[in-house]
Structure 1
Amino acid sequence: MALSDWALSDFTGGGFTRPVYRRGQGPAVIVIHEIPGLHPQVIDFGERLVDAGMSVFMPSLFGTPGKAVTKGYAIRSMLGNICIRREFSVWKDGRSSPIVDWLRALARHAHGTCGGPGVGAVGMCFTGGFALAMMTEPAVVAPVLAQPSMPIRGAKAGSIDVSPAEMACAKRRLVDEDLTVLGLRYKGDPFVPDARFARLSAELEDRFEAVALEPEDAKPDTGMTPHSVLTIHLPTSGPGKDAEVRTIGFFRKRLGLA
């Protein structure tokens, strides 16, 4: 499905203005793309959420919307854009990115537009932790962390890109509102070490649903170490397919569709 089939508009909030693609009917889900940008496999995932009865909002935060993934494109996206832009914090533990304020504003807007019990949000890779930090916005009731890969420093010690205040708010809401956080990764992924999921499990306890896929379940012939659970390396069959099934089911349950 081409992006030309999605409605495009600019959204302003939290000190930033960014383009957002929207499609579908029903309660809202914000799909926050991975490196290198809003590529075709992210769009395909958004389409599957639309087919499952949701209104999908896909912001473009970096890269060229619709451009296919290549190794060179991914490297340029990381080194030439993301690491030096003020809206992202990629190095330090216990600190979320400034763009999360914009995403919270988008969640409020999406909830006001689409209604329902709240909004779902999924971050991927570079943006994987954003969905947890977004929980300071009351509209966000279904956060999914797909291969959360930031911050860079302290990854093997369990660093996360969420501030102590944001974590405290999330923990309080998870208990008070009977919510959970879904986390997805491939075992052995060097960008999402065991310690990061262990930290999330220690912080969120039984409110964190961790899904760790076996590398051999990954979609074959990509020439890359398995990493992108819901997009580039999405398993099309076998036990690994459960990651997407669980994600869509998680959104449907929390958003009142199940």
Structure 2
Amino acid sequence: MTSTRARHDDPRDDPLDDFEHRTVSIQDVSKRVYVTGAGPAVVLMPEMPGISPDVARLARWIREAGFSVYLPSLFGVDGAYPLADEARAVVRRACVSAEFRAFAGGGTSPVTAWLRGLARTAHAERGGPGVGAVGLCFTGNFALTMALEPAVIAPVVNHPSLPLDDPAALELSAQDAAAVAGRVRRDGLKVLAYRFDDDTWCTGRRFAAYRALLGDAFDGRVLPGETARTDPPPFFRDVVGCAHSVVTAHLVDQDGHPTRRARDEILAFLTERLSPPTATTTAAG
């Protein structure tokens, strides 16, 4: 599935001009990736309908916390403010794309193999103990699947919405689910996750499925839906229709607000997992 650059005809669009615009080719598949920052790498995947200004804002927060951010363009119009009608068309195309498995029974989305390759590339370029992977909405579960790549050591699963037609299922093949669970147990990984309590796209049944697979390694945190931003962009107001995007479209950027605390917890998780070992720790080891 292809995406395009920002339209630049809506003042609410984000030109993404503080990012390096790259074309990254992995196994003969090329995608645009926006790169910024320094330090250990974090692959931040966009939510529907693409790299919105709110997703770019999250990327900048991750950058400011001391990380390199690799933001791949997977669908939609890069930098575009999420309008309802245009976004509906993006969702429809993604649901029938060969890269994604939007419905139950489809198994793991093929695009995750490319994303694992991006994580390897980012780790080789930026070093450090490993790479973080942050998924959002349509790409939420991709952060977990990316843990099949040994370089990924800090997966964050935000309001995972796939499969769209089964709230109790996970967007994973049985083989990949077993492999991910084995990696989590073997390497002591933790998986951080967020959703709102009244999110109809990511319900408690989905979090229960994660916990059944991962046990105590799954740290699923639930925020009251009443705390979500009440004036999100049109796509989230008219199409999503509920509190959903904890650290992007429904975040309230105020000190002490639950959604901003969630953002800070994610940044702290990435810092804990991706910080190079100190000299004292190394000597003790």
Which stretches of structure 1, 4 residues or more, deviate above 4 A after TM superposition? none
Deviations 1:66-124 (A, max 9, x none): 11011212211111x20121111111247111100100000000000000010001111
Q: Which residue of 1 aligns with 2:246?
A: 229
Deviations 1:163-207 (A, max 9, x none): 222222222222222210011111111100211100101111100
TM-score when scaled to structure 1? 0.94
| Secondary structure, aligned partner of 1:190 | coil
Deviation at 1:53, TM superposition (A): 0.1
1:65 and 2:78 matched: yes
Q: Which residue of 2 aligns with 1:239?
A: 258
Bigger drift between 128-137 and 173-182 goes to 173-182
Q: Which residue of 1 aligns with 2:206?
A: 196
* Larger-gyration structure (1/2): 2
Bigger drift between 209-218 and 49-58 goes to 209-218
1:85 and 2:97 matched: yes
| Secondary structure, aligned partner of 1:95 | coil
Q: Which residue, 91, 99, 102 being the options, matches 2:114?
A: 102
Is the contact between residue 94 and residue 159 of structure 1 (CA under 8 Å) also seen in structure 2?
no
Is the contact between residue 190 and residue 218 of structure 2 (CA under 8 Å) also seen in structure 1?
yes
**What count of residue pairs does the alignment treat as equivalent?**
255
RMSD of aligned Cα (Å): 1.6
CA separation in 2, counterparts of 1:213 and 1:220?
A: 15
Q: Residues 38-187 of structure 1 correspond to what in structure 2 (within 5 A)? A: 38-79=51-92, 81-93=93-105, 95-155=107-167, 158-187=168-197
Deviation at 1:2, TM superposition (A): 4.0
Q: Which residue of 2 aligns with 1:11?
A: 24
Is the contact between residue 129 and residue 276 of structure 2 (CA under 8 Å) also seen in structure 1?
no
| Secondary structure, aligned partner of 2:17 | helix
Q: Which residue of 2 aligns with 1:218?
A: 228
Deviations 1:36-67 (A, max 9, x none): 11111000000000000000000001111011
Instruction: In structure 1, give the amino acid aligned to 2:216.
Output: D
Structure 1: unaligned runs, 5 residues or longer? none
Deviation at 1:227, TM superposition (A): 0.7
**Would the alpha carbon gap of residues 98 and 15 (structure 1) be closer, same or farther in structure 2, given more than 3 Å must change?**
farther
Instruction: In structure 1, give the amino acid aligned to 2:90.
Output: S
**Would the alpha carbon gap of residues 122 and 95 (structure 1) be closer, same or farther in structure 2, given more than 3 Å must change?**
same
Amino-acid identity (%): 38
Instruction: In structure 1, give the amino acid aligned to 2:117.
Output: A
TM-score when scaled to structure 2? 0.86
Is the contact between residue 169 and residue 206 of structure 2 (CA under 8 Å) also seen in structure 1?
yes
CA separation in 1, counterparts of 2:226 and 2:253?
A: 12
